[in-house]
Amino acid sequence: MRIFLDASVLLAAAGSANGASRGVFDYAAAQGWTLVSSPWALNEALRNLPDLQAQATRDWLPLRRRIFVADDVVVLDRPVIFAASKDRPILFTALASAEVLLTLDRADFAAMLGGTFYGLRVLLPCDFLTEERAAGRLPAA
């Protein structure tokens, strides 16, 4: 499964070794998940990384090495009603490169969380891990 990680998830994974965002990284290899992001998301994460504790910067490089970088997609050949223009490249690139978009951005993606966008599932990392556990693909927490 290809899982797209937006900047909020990348920052949360770097900022906390115990959260669901880091859990996605921790389970990825064993589950055969490909973690995907984009230059757009990576640049946003890098701009905000200095706002976190120093440990986040140290944790970032090993995490970054585990991410496949997909080219940014900025236009789509389908009708789209999505007001948050700054996050369109995230949504469009995730649609083009993954089955699931994980985000912690409850403001811009609120209407999509727990739903789909042209078949792309949009979830919080904790909800994704909960679904995987419920399906028996992950050990109980």
Task: Please check whether residue 47 lies inside any domain of the structure.
Answer: yes
Task: Please check whether residue 110 lies inside any domain of the structure.
Answer: yes
Task: Please check whether residue 67 lies inside any domain of the structure.
Answer: yes
Measured CA to CA, the distance from residue 12 to residue 90 in angstroms comes to: 17
The predicted pLDDT at position 72 comes to: 84
**CATH (domain of 120):** 3.40.50.1010
Spell out the long-range contacts of 133-139 with Cβ–Cβ below 8 A and sequence spacing 24 or more: 137/31, 138/27, 138/31
Task: Please check whether residue 139 lies inside any domain of the structure.
Answer: no
The number of distinct structural domains making up the chain is 1
Helices 125-134, 20-31: inter-axial angle, 10-degree rounding:
50
Tally of CA atoms within 13 A in the half-sphere of 32 that contains its CB: 2
- By residue range, what is the domain housing residue 55? 2-134
Task: Please check whether residue 31 lies inside any domain of the structure.
Answer: yes
Task: Please check whether residue 126 lies inside any domain of the structure.
Answer: yes
What's the pTM?
Answer: 0.92
At 12, phi and psi to the nearest 5? Answer: -65, -40
At 123, phi and psi to the nearest 5? Answer: -140, 155
pLDDT in tens, the chain (141 residues): 999 999 999 999 999 999 999 999 999 999 999 999 999 999 999 999 999 999 999 999 999 999 999 998 865 565 566 555 667 889 889 999 999 999 999 888 888 899 998 899 999 999 999 999 999 999 876
Residue 96 three-state SS: helix
**59: buried, middle or exposed (CB in 10 Å: 19+, 13-18, 0-12)?**
buried
Task: Please check whether residue 141 lies inside any domain of the structure.
Answer: no
The predicted pLDDT at position 89 comes to: 87
The predicted pLDDT at position 83 comes to: 59
The predicted pLDDT at position 18 comes to: 95
The predicted pLDDT at position 82 comes to: 57
Tokens 């995230």 sit at which residue?
A: 90
Q: What are the residues facing 37 on neighbouring strands?
A: 69
The CA-atom distances, in angstroms, between 66 and each of 1, 75, 77 are: 14, 27, 30
The predicted pLDDT at position 112 comes to: 87
